[in-house]
A and B are shown apart, each in its own frame.
Chain A
Amino acid sequence: MTRGKIKAWYLVHKWTSLVCTLFLLILCVTGLPLIFWEEIDQATRDMREPAPVAEGARPASLDAIMARAIERSGGDVPLFLGWDDHEPVVYVNTGARPDVPVEEMKVFLFDAYSGAELGNQSLDSGVMMFIYRLHTDLFLGLGMTLFLGVMTLLFAAALISGIVLYGPFMRKLDFGTVRRDGSRRLKWLDMHNLIGAVTLAWALVVGLTGAVNTLARPLQFAWQAQAVAEFSARYAGQPRPGQFASLDTSVAAARARAPDMAPAFVSYPGTGYSGDHHFGVFMHGDTPLTERLVKPVLVDAATGEVTAEPAVPWYITTLLLSQPLHFGDYGGLPLKLLWALLDLATIVVLGSGLYLWLRRSRGSTEARVTEIMEAGLRARAAA
């Protein structure tokens, strides 16, 4: 690689890193506890365990569960009803209006077979929701979410330019070299290169899937405007149904359309998942992948009859695939622990990068380029 090219890549690395580092540090630090959200939730939630499922037991009526949740909510409207992936538990989300934000929803938990109420949890209270808001938008809304997405793209550019500079730097060194007999800065330069190179692919995947996740809301809107609008055209001008068809009937109708799949959750009209006139019954498979690739069946919320099974557009598939790869929640607790370690390693890469920039010796960009070409040994370069 020519000196000119190294200089260009160095400038890309320096500026993309400097702009994104502070935000990425916030994302890595707040993301760390979020990896274990599910575990923390289970440990802290106020829920009785569901009864063991007897052989041949029949699931409780969803209509009865929903009626109970609405009664307990004190005048809310139904938003979602869903099934836990691991336990025989049904959850119901309610809210003051169909379009309330997540943090204003109430959650009621029921035994999927006996229908007994197991407890409830409030989504807005709690440290984890606070950390989640910090992680996704710093309490500043969609604009900040999208801005963080841009910062994450800069992070990806910093990683790519970093690995481009890694080659010329490591040309004369063995992999894993950390020189502890030189200056402190030289040691951290080696650490930065080593940890950065080792975690590169993981950091790129988690970073880029995080950037995709920042587009979740706009993509859901696009999906509503496109797919759902197409099927709800004949409902144009009609008000949202005030009386809903039976949930049990509606879910059974959706099940009949996808006999190999199980329902993951049902969205009510107006929640932004299924238009103004339909239940969205989201069916899924049972592997980690097919569990997340949901297939929607739109059921007329007034009659309980299936209207359509809209094809899932590519951008929603991309979003659904991006979520597990960002959260690390698809391979049990060991995968989460590895996720946490790799997250900590990324914090070290970010922190050491900042340190290297703050403790740079005097001199121009040319001196930095020489430093890269001579594997950090400026003395020899001076000759």
Chain B
Amino acid sequence: MSKARRGLWPAYRMPALLAAISLIGLVSALLEDGLFDVVSWVLLGAIVVAMRPALRR
């Protein structure tokens, strides 16, 4: 069990990073137009790109 506990964080590192990127991307365009919109597009675009392994044949 202790081994399992030690082993869980690496698995969550990427999902946690992607969740943080998603939340910043969701909020950014809400605050201002212009550059803040672009930040949202880039960050949420990165979320879509992160699914790329699902498309590989």
The interface of chain A, by Cβ under 8 A from chain B, is 1-2, 163, 166-173, 175-178, 180, 191, 194-195, 197-202, 205, 287-289, 324-325, 330-332, 334-335, 338, 341-342, 345, 348
> Quick check: A166 and B32 within 8 Å, CB to CB?
no
B1-57 interface with A by 8 A CB criterion: 1, 4-5, 7-8, 11-15, 18-20, 22-23, 26, 28-33, 37, 40-41, 44-45, 47-48, 50-54, 56-57
Question: Can you list 11 A-B contacts (CB < 8 A)?
Answer: A171-B8, A171-B11, A173-B11, A199-B51, A201-B18, A201-B20, A201-B22, A205-B22, A324-B30, A331-B30, A332-B29
Known: A198-B47, A332-B37. A175 touches B14 (CB 8 A): yes
Main secondary structure of the interface of B (DSSP, over half): helix
> Quick check: B54 and A200 within 8 Å, CB to CB?
no
Q: Which residues from chain A contact B54 at a C-beta distance below 8 Å?
A: 178, 191, 194-195, 348
> Quick check: A287 and B44 within 8 Å, CB to CB?
no
Known: A176-B53, A287-B32. A205 touches B26 (CB 8 A): yes
Q: Which residues from chain A contact B12 at a C-beta distance below 8 Å?
A: 166-167
B39 (CB) vs chain A CBs: closest residue: A331
Known: A288-B33, A338-B48, A342-B47. A202 touches B56 (CB 8 A): no
Q: Which of B7, B8, B40, B52 is A335 in contact with, Cβ under 8 Å?
A: B40
Cα of A201 to Cα of B23 in the assembled complex, Å: 7
Q: Which residues from chain A contact B30 at a C-beta distance below 8 Å?
A: 288-289, 324-325, 330-331
Cα of A24 to Cα of B8 in the assembled complex, Å: 30
Least distance between A372 CB and chain B CB atoms (Å): 12
**What 5 pairs between A and B have smallest CB-CB spacing?**
A331-B29, A201-B22, A170-B11, A201-B19, A176-B53
Cα of A176 to Cα of B37 in the assembled complex, Å: 28
The interface of chain B, by Cβ under 8 A from chain A, is 1, 4-5, 7-8, 11-15, 18-20, 22-23, 26, 28-33, 37, 40-41, 44-45, 47-48, 50-54, 56-57
Cα of A359 to Cα of B5 in the assembled complex, Å: 30
A178 (CB) vs chain B CBs: closest residue: B53
Known: A170-B11, A201-B23. A331 touches B41 (CB 8 A): yes
Q: Which residues from chain B contact A175 at a C-beta distance below 8 Å?
A: 11, 13-15
> Quick check: A168 and B37 within 8 Å, CB to CB?
no
> Quick check: B48 and A194 within 8 Å, CB to CB?
no
B5 (CB) vs chain A CBs: closest residue: A1
> Quick check: B29 and A171 within 8 Å, CB to CB?
no
B7 (CB) vs chain A CBs: closest residue: A171
Cα of A175 to Cα of B11 in the assembled complex, Å: 7
Q: Which residues from chain A contact B45 at a C-beta distance below 8 Å?
A: 338
> Quick check: B29 and A330 within 8 Å, CB to CB?
yes
Known: A177-B53, A325-B26. A202 touches B47 (CB 8 A): yes
Q: Which residues from chain B contact A205 at a C-beta distance below 8 Å?
A: 22-23, 26
Cα of A166 to Cα of B40 in the assembled complex, Å: 27
> Quick check: A2 and B1 within 8 Å, CB to CB?
yes
> Quick check: B50 and A168 within 8 Å, CB to CB?
no
